[in-house]
Amino acid sequence: MRSTIKTFGFFLLLTFIAYLPVTSFLFALKNDAFTGYFPPKFFMSESIHAGYLPLWNPYINYGLPQYGDMSSGFWSPVTWLVASTIGYNAYSFTVEEVFYLFMAGMGMYYLTSCWGLKNKTRLIAGIAYMCSGYMVGHLQHFNWIAGAAFLPWCLYTYLNALKNTHAINLLKLALAFSLFFSSAHPGLIIGVIYFFLFIFLASVLNKIFTGHKPVRIIKETGVTNLIILCTILLFIIGPVIGYLEVLPHISRSGKLSIASIGDGATLQSWISTILPLAVTKNDAFYATDISIRNSYFGLLFILLLLSGIFYKKTKWQHLLLIIGIFFLLLSGEAFKKFSFNYLPLIGHVRLSGEFRIFAIFSFILFSAIQLDKTYKEGVRTSLRYCFSFLMILLSIALLYSFYHIMLTKDSIFYHNIIYTDKEWRAALKQTIDCITGYDAMFFQGIVQMFILSAIYNALKKEKKTKVFYLAIMEITFACLVNIPFTGVGKASVKEVAHLLNRSPKGIPIPTFQPTVDNDILPPEQTKMIGDWSFYNKQLGVVHHVPYPINLNNTGSFFTNSHITNIHKKSYIYLSGDSTHNNAGIEVTHFSPNSINFKVNAVSPSILVYKQNYYPAWTNTINGFPANIEKSEKTFLSTYLNKGEQEVSFRFVNKKITWLVFINLSLFWLTCIILITVSIRKNAGRQT
C-alpha cells in the first residue's frame, strides 16, 4: 500500500511539473479543446443540473442527438461524474484533461509490470508515455488524449485476463475497455482493433510454434478470447448501439475519399524523435499540421530502441517492433494509398497521424524491456554505435542550424520584437512566435548532446539511479518547452472562465426573436471558446458553425435559397406569417428534449420548429399524436387547423435512455465490487 501511494504521488507530482502551464491554470488549452470538445460537455452539465437527460443538444447547428456525438464523451462515466457533480467549467475541464495524462502514466507503469521490469524502468516508461510528443502535440484534442490514457490499461487488463479469466480480471478488463471506447476518438478505436488483432494472432502463433495441438489452441486461446470479447461487448453495448443509430444520419458516416484524408506524420516529422522542439516551426518543410509532427518519447528510449533492433530480442520485442513499424507506416504518407484501399475501416479515419500513438506505445515498451536487458548484460557494441550515430545526427543538425542562422539572419536574435501587449502572457507568446525553426534546432541540439552524453556515460558506468534522474529530467523538460507551441494559448483559464460565465444558467426558455438577432461574440473571443451559439442558450445560427458532427439535413439547409428570409423568423413560426412577429404563439415549457406551446392560428397553417428533423422526434396537438414533416430541408413542422391549439414536440428514445442507465449502472457497480474486494484483500494481508 505504501509503495502504491508513493507511485501515485510520483506521477501526480511529475504530471503537475511537466504540464505546469496547464496545471497552474496560467494558460488555457488552445484551439479545438474549448471550441470543439468543451461545448457538448458544458451542455450535458447544464442539462443534468436542470433535471433533464441530455439526449438532444438543441444548441449546435439546430440540434443533434448528443448520444451519437463521438467527440462529446457522452457515454463516458468520467463525463457523467463531472457533469452531474461539480459541473463543467473552464477549470473542471482542464482538470479532467490533466487526469487523463496522469492515468496514461500510471497505466504504462502498471502495464510494464507484465514483463517483470525493475521499478525505476517502469517509472521512466510511464513518464515517457505521459509526456510523449503525441500527448504534448494533441493537448487540444481531448478525445485523442482520453483514448491514449486508457490504452495501456486495456493491454494490461487483457494480458491478465489471458492468463486467468477470473471474474475480477474480467471486471477490470471491462472497466478499462468501457472507458477507452466511450472516451476515444473513432480513429483510435479503429487503431485498437488492429493493435489487439496483432496481440491475438501472436498468441495463437506462439502456441502453434511451441507444439500445442489445434484443439488445445482453440480451447485455451479461442474460448478465452471469446469470453473476453463478450465481456467487453456487454460493457460497451450502449455506445455501440448509440453510434450505430446515428451513423446513417451524419455527414462523416461513410468512407472518405482519399483526397479528403488529411496529411499524416510525414517522414521528416520523425526528426522529432531526437529534436521535438525543432518541429514546432518551419511548416513548409514538415508539410503537416503542427499537432501531428511530434513523436518524441525520450533520448534514453530512442537510444535503446535503435540498439535493440541490432541485438538479440525477446518474443515480445519482436512483436512490439513489428506493431510499431506497422503503425509508423500507417500514420504516414507512403502507406496511405495501400491502407486506404486494402485495410478495412482505415478509409474512415481523416487524420492518419493519430495512429502514431500505437507506434510510440510499442516503441516505449520495446525500449523499457531493452533497458532492463542492458542493466543485466551491460553496454553492448550496438549501444555504442547507436550513441555515436545519434551524436552525429545531433552534430549535423547543430551545424546546419548554426549555418542558416549566420547566413540568413533568420533568428530571434536578429529580430526586433515589438511588444504590442504589455500583458506578460501575450508578450511570452510574441517571443515564442519569433523563435525560428533554426533557433529551436540549434538550442535543443546543444541540450540534447549534453544529456545524451550524460545518459550514455551513466549507462556505461552502471549508475542506474543517475540514468533514472537524467531520463525523467530530460523527458519532463522536453514536455515543458513544447507545450507553449502546441498545447496552450495566450489566454488564462480565468479569462476563459470569465467569458463562459456570461452564458445564461440552466436551460431557460429561448428568447422569442429572429435568428439574426441572436447575440454573437467578437472573432478574438470566438477563437477562445468557439461559437457563442453553443452557450447563449438561443436556438439557431445564421451561418453553419464548424463542429465535428453534423446531421446531413443541416448542410442542406445552409444551401437554401430562402435562407435570408428564414433567419428573420424566430425558432417557432407559422409558415404563412409574413410579419415575423409570431403573434399567437406562447411557449409554456422548454427543455433540450421537448417544447410545449400554445398557438392561435387565424387560418390553416404549417407550424415550423427550428430543430433538425430526426426520427426520434414526436408531436402531439391538443394531446393527440400528429405527423411531423420536414420543412426547409431540415426543420420540424406540422399542420395546424384554424383556432387555438396546444402543440408539443418531444424527443423520445427509450432505448437510449435504458442503455444510459444500464451502461452507467454496470460501470459503477463494477467499481464498487472491485474496491470492496481490494479493501478485503488488504485487510486480510494486515491480519
Query: 400-459: per-residue pLDDT in tens?
Result: 988 888 888 877 777 766 666 667 666 767 677 778 888 889 999 999 999 999 999 999
What range does the domain containing 271 cover? Answer: 2-30+89-486
| Domain assignment present for 267 | yes
| Domain assignment present for 53 | no
pLDDT > 70: percent of the chain: 96
Q: Of residues 229 and 252, which shows the higher confidence score?
A: 229
Query: For residue range 17-63, what is the model confidence (pLDDT) as tens digits?
Result: 999 999 999 999 998 999 999 999 999 999 999 999 999 999 999 99
What is the predicted pLDDT for the residue at 446?
Answer: 94
Query: For residue range 605-643, what is the model confidence (pLDDT) as tens digits?
Result: 899 999 999 999 999 999 999 999 999 889 999 999 988
Q: What is the mean pLDDT of residues 194-217?
A: 84
Q: Where are the alpha helices (DSSP H) in 461-594?
A: 464-486, 493-500, 523-529, 552-557, 563-567
Give 615: exposed, middle or buried? Use CB within 10 Å, 0-12, 13-18, 19+.
Answer: exposed
Q: 550 CB contacts (<8 Å, ≥6 apart)? A: 61, 64, 250, 251, 252, 544
Predicted confidence band at 541 (pLDDT cuts at 50, 70, 90)?
A: very high
Residue 339 has pLDDT above 90, yes or no: no
State how beta strands 629-631 and 635-640 pair. Answer: antiparallel
| Domain assignment present for 616 | no
| Domain assignment present for 70 | no
pLDDT > 90: percent of the chain: 67
Q: 569 CB contacts (<8 Å, ≥6 apart)? A: 514, 515, 577, 580, 582, 608
What is the predicted pLDDT for the residue at 420?
Answer: 65
Predicted confidence band at 338 (pLDDT cuts at 50, 70, 90)?
A: confident
Whether 356 and 296 have beta carbons less than 8 Å apart is answered as no
| Domain assignment present for 463 | yes
What is the predicted pLDDT for the residue at 266?
Answer: 87
What is the predicted pLDDT for the residue at 12?
Answer: 96
Residue 359: DSSP 8-state: H
Q: What is the mean pLDDT of residues 262-277?
A: 89
Q: What is the mean pLDDT of residues 517-537?
A: 91
Distance CA 44, CA 58 (A): 11
- Compute CA distances 428 → 412, 423, 476, 494, whole Å: 13, 9, 20, 18
What is the predicted pLDDT for the residue at 220?
Answer: 75
The CA-CA-CA angle for residues 260, 262, 268, to 5°, reads 145
Out of 261-270, 358-367, 665-674, pick the least confident. Answer: 261-270
What is the predicted pLDDT for the residue at 422?
Answer: 65
| Domain assignment present for 43 | no
Distance CA 125, CA 129 (A): 6
Q: Using CA atoms in the order 212, 168, 239, 237, what is the torsion angle rounded to 10 degrees? A: 70
Out of 365-379, 558-572, 660-674, pick the least confident. Answer: 558-572
| Domain assignment present for 47 | no
Out of 64-68, 264-268, 422-426, pick the least confident. Answer: 422-426
Domains in the chain, number: 1
Q: What is the mean pLDDT of residues 214-225?
A: 80
Q: Of residues 128 and 311, which shows the higher confidence score?
A: 128
Please provide the average confidence, as pLDDT, over all residues in the chain. Answer: 90
Q: What does the buried/exposed string (b/e) look like for 104-135 if buried means 16 or more CB atoms within 10 Å of the residue's CB?
A: bbbbbbbbbeebebbebbbbbbbbbbbbbbbb
Whether 355 and 187 have beta carbons less than 8 Å apart is answered as yes
Q: Is the pTM for the entire model greater than 0.85?
A: yes
Whether 263 and 336 have beta carbons less than 8 Å apart is answered as no
Give 559: exposed, middle or buried? Use CB within 10 Å, 0-12, 13-18, 19+.
Answer: exposed
What is the predicted pLDDT for the residue at 216?
Answer: 75
| Domain assignment present for 83 | no
